[in-house]
Amino acid sequence: MGFQISHSNKQKVKPFFGRENDDSDGTINGSVKGRELSPPDVAGYDSWLVKHPSALNSFDSIMKEAKGKKVVVFLDYDGTLSPIVEDPDKAFMSAEMRAAVREVAKHFPTSIISGRSRDKVKQFVQLNNVYYAGSHGMDIMAPPRAVKSCDKKGNEGAFQPAKLFLPAIQEISVELVDKIKDIQGARIEDNRFCISVHYRQVPPEDHEILKEKVKSLVENRAEFRLTQGKMVLEVRPSIEWNKGDALNYMLDTLGFSNAKDVLPLYIGDDRTDEDAFKVIAARREGFPIIVSSTPKDTIAWYSLRDPPEVLAFLLRLAKWRKSEMPFFK
């Protein structure tokens, strides 16, 4: 499998003003929307559910396909394992969620692919039996690879396709801090190989001003591009590498790249997760599952409403594996 990395700086800056409503993420005053509240557009959500059925309600049919296959689990972090909150430093996952991920990882190879820096997401998750990919997959601590995949000296370690960009990233980070310093509530998060510019706490009337400022800075630096997440702009190196590539890389290092009996399952809530959904959809094997409590454009086949539903799904997955293994019964 080839991991082609283009260092071309001719790549276009991605437009990010197209789907503004993706900012909505089911949070009220920084806490997760109460489960008792219905989404505002109940009819719309119900018809969206027809196209993206609940992975919980469809659990048995999903698992029918998994019988006899190697299930490999991929999870996003923010909005999937943890609720979306006002302060990015306080996006903690619950003890129950941690226990569920630990249990799933006992039975299936499990990776967390996050936009955060790898260290930060590991601090939040605190599990040693999962693999971590930070910076939207640009910083992967992979499992030990087959000898063919090691470097000449047989070294293993982090895979960092954007390493050459580090000095430039640090430079633009300083420029960004200066550029947005007058915008109340704006904050920069250093995710090592990408920089997040958060505007969740910026007054709505200043959103466009902030976006324009960041856009103008990035447009002048051809080695960067801009993507958008939930109330966050992500400044990243212009390389052809995303969460989908990270998923393929993990499958390869796990020794599954050519296996016909592998079923990757990816759960994520944000736009950057669509790249991983795309890879699974192209394989025609596996399950892309979106986390959303409102209808949204996605190529995921199944859905879960929010992190509590993700928790329920993971618990069921672990239980299913135990029921498959006679000595656990």
Ligand X SMILES: O=P(O)(O)OC[C@H]1O[C@H](O[C@H]2O[C@H](CO)[C@@H](O)[C@H](O)[C@H]2O)[C@H](O)[C@@H](O)[C@@H]1O
What minimum distance in Å lies between the beta carbon of 67 and ligand X? 31
Residue closer to ligand X, measured from CB, 156 or 206: 206
Residue closer to ligand X, measured from CB, 193 or 256: 193
Helix, strand and coil in the chain, % to nearest 5: 40, 20, 45
Residue closer to ligand X, measured from CB, 223 or 270: 270
At 131, which helix (H) or strand (E)?
strand 131-134
What minimum distance in Å lies between the beta carbon of 115 and ligand X? 3
Catalytic residue among 76, 78, 245, 275: 76
What minimum distance in Å lies between the beta carbon of 83 and ligand X? 7
Site residues (CB under 6 A) for ligand X?
76-79, 84-86, 88, 91, 114-116, 189, 191, 196, 198, 200, 229-232, 234, 270, 272
Residue closer to ligand X, measured from CB, 130 or 232: 232
Buried b (16+ CB within 10 A) or exposed e, 6-30: eeeeebebeebeeeeebeebbbeee
What is the pairing mode between strands 158-159 and 187-190?
unpaired
Which residues are registered as beta bridge partners of 228? 233
Residue closer to ligand X, measured from CB, 288 or 321: 288
- The closest alpha carbon to 45, from 70, 59, 24, 69, belongs to 24
Task: Confirm if 306 and 32 have CB atoms less than 8 A apart.
Answer: yes
Based on the number of CB atoms within 10 Å of its own CB, is 191 exposed (0-12), middle (13-18) or buried (19 or more)?
A: buried
Catalytic: 76? yes
What minimum distance in Å lies between the beta carbon of 171 and ligand X? 19
296: Cα within 13 Å, side-chain hemisphere: 26
Angle at 311 between CA 307 and CA 312, to 5 degrees: 120
What minimum distance in Å lies between the beta carbon of 179 and ligand X? 18
Residue whose beta carbon is closest to ligand X = 115
What minimum distance in Å lies between the beta carbon of 230 and ligand X? 4
Retrieve residue 82's tokens. 């943890």
What is the pairing mode between strands 131-134 and 139-141?
antiparallel
Give the N- to C-terminal CA distance of the chain in Å, as an integer.
39
What minimum distance in Å lies between the beta carbon of 135 and ligand X? 9
The H-assigned helical ranges of the chain are 42-51, 59-66, 95-107, 118-125, 166-179, 207-219, 243-253, 273-283, 307-324
Residue closer to ligand X, measured from CB, 69 or 207: 207
Residue closer to ligand X, measured from CB, 107 or 120: 120
Retrieve residue 287's tokens. 């399950």
**Active site residue ranges:** 76
